Structure 1
Amino acid sequence: MVRSFLMPSGDGSEIQVHITEPAVRAQNLGLITWTSSFILASLLHKLEVNISSKSKVPVLELGAGTGLVGLTAASLWKKPVYLTDLCPIVPALSSNIALNTATVNDLVRCGSLDWSEPDFLLDEDGQTISAHTDKAQVILAADTMYSEEHPELLSKAIFKWLSPDPSARVIMTWPMRVAYLDQIREIWAILEVGGLECILEGREQAKDDHWDDEGLCEWSVWQWKIS
């Protein structure tokens, strides 16, 4: 089935993003849009970003899932966005990009990126993009804390791909699931030790009951520490 989301653009209008999801929500959980992705996509119009990078991946979404966040970012910022996830998720990402061609034109691409070996991104056409030569000015990540391994793995990917530019940003959100509060605090500590600092943070509650997940989400924006 196709779900259509209306995301605020900041000028009083709305952006419509179409997402294909399984008809049975108990199946293919990686292909479902979760609350935190909707929350982050809804907040993007309020966040200031400076995307002047000539990198092939100026905006990189990690663990993109259905791609709602990255597709919204491309529609708002009019900059190239790469949606990344594990290999089995990439075909669904490609389908969602095609569904939104009228809105994002050729700005969005997708590919696989394994956080355990994050040096390279393999795009949908088989092209390899290296984190050593192409850095992201903005990294987006929603709902990426649901395993004990995720703080180490996600931070590894962030440090590998984030541009050293002082204006580079990491923008994240996750639901406040009780089972993973320790992992949420752990990644904060890892990012701080690695040289990043949180410059904006907050919590948002989903305003309707159309979600099967935890409705309260925490979001944060990070930059390199200013020495």
Structure 2
Amino acid sequence: MAEHTLHHNNYFTRDVEKNDGSVLKIKQCFKGDVGCVVWDAAIVLSKYLETKPLYDPCSGVNMWASKNILELGAGTGVVGLMAASLGAQVTVTDLEDLQSLLQVNIQDNQELVSSGSIEAKVLKWGENVSEFLPHPHFILMADCIYYEQSVKPLVETLKHLVGPETTIICCYEQRTVGVNPKVEKQFFEEHLPLQ
């Protein structure tokens, strides 16, 4: 396993304010692949996790408390960190290259993960998912539908991860240029296990 370090001049921080006023501090890389930055879809999905009726501490509603959550294509980890800060047991997954960024963001935000937990693991879509079973309660994905060659491996991974009690929450920016409309159509036409 290759070890990578992040030097402070290689990244910049994006603050994501939670409804309770606390702030997730998410490091992003100046250089790197698509997983090195916080995309708008990740912010939208993070904030969605805090919306009523999913999460309302005033009325005692917390859909995420003690739930087993798996995030695919986590990138910076902002979505998984939000879920963990709301009480979920989260595993954020991405390729080997992004593990050091995920680890730094988990470490930097650990104080906000008091009732939940979060860990980062490598998961390449289309490969063995046995270490991520039993089936999670929720699978979260933000902006994972954009590479044509990744659609089939992503759907294959979802088929193996989804159980009778699993809910998939997918948030993505609808793009109208290039191959993106074709990729989106291909993803939604694949045979996902619908309950």
TM-score range, shorter chain: 0.7 to 0.9
In the TM superposition, what are the counterparts of 1:165-180 in structure 2 within 5 Å? Answer: 165=165, 168-178=166-176, 179=178, 180=180
Structure-2 change in CA distance of 1:50 and 1:109 (3 Å): closer
**Letter matched to residue 139 of structure 2:** I
Count of residue pairs brought into register by the alignment: 172
Q: Is the 8 A contact 2:151 2:183 kept in 1?
A: yes
1:149 aligns with 2:149: yes
Match 1:17 to one of 6, 21, 24: 24
Give the match's secondary structure for 1:172.
Answer: strand
Q: Which residue of 1 aligns with 2:15?
A: 4
Residue of structure 2 equivalent to 1:43: 48
State how far apart, in whole Å, the 2-side matches of 1:130 and 1:176 are: 29
| Structure 1 residue 188, shift from structure 2 partner | 1.7
- Picking from 87, 94, 102, the partner of 2:103 is 94
Report how far residue 98 of structure 1 moved.
Answer: 0.2
Residue matched to 2:8: none
Match of 1:189 in 2: 189
Select which of 62, 66, 82 maps to 2:76. 66
| Counterparts of 2:65 and 2:184, CA distance in 1 | 27
CA distance in 2 between partners of 1:16 and 1:195 (Å): 36
Counterpart position of 2:121: 111
Q: Alignment partner of 1:111: what SS?
A: strand
Say which SS state the counterpart of residue 149 (structure 1) adopts: helix
1:15–1:158 CA distance, 2 compared to 1 (3 A):
farther
Amino acid at match of 1:104: V
The answer for the alignment partner of 1:79 in structure 2 is 88
Aligned-pair identity (%): 26
8 Å CA contact 2:66, 2:88 repeated in 1: no
Distance 1:40 1:130 in 2: 22
Q: Distance in 2 between matches of 1:156 and 1:38?
A: 26
CA RMSD of aligned residues (A): 2.0
Q: What is the Cα deviation at residue 182 of structure 1? A: 1.8
TM-score (norm 1): 0.69
Partners of 1:141 and 1:107 in 2: how far apart? 18
Q: Shift of residue 145 of structure 1?
A: 1.3
- For the structure 1 residues 175 and 160, does the alpha-carbon distance in structure 2 shift closer, same or farther, using more than 3 Å as the test? same
Report how far residue 155 of structure 1 moved.
Answer: 1.3
1:195 Cα deviation after fit? 3.0
Q: CA deviation at 1:30?
A: 2.1
| CA–CA separation in structure 2 for the residues paired with 1:93 and 1:185 | 30
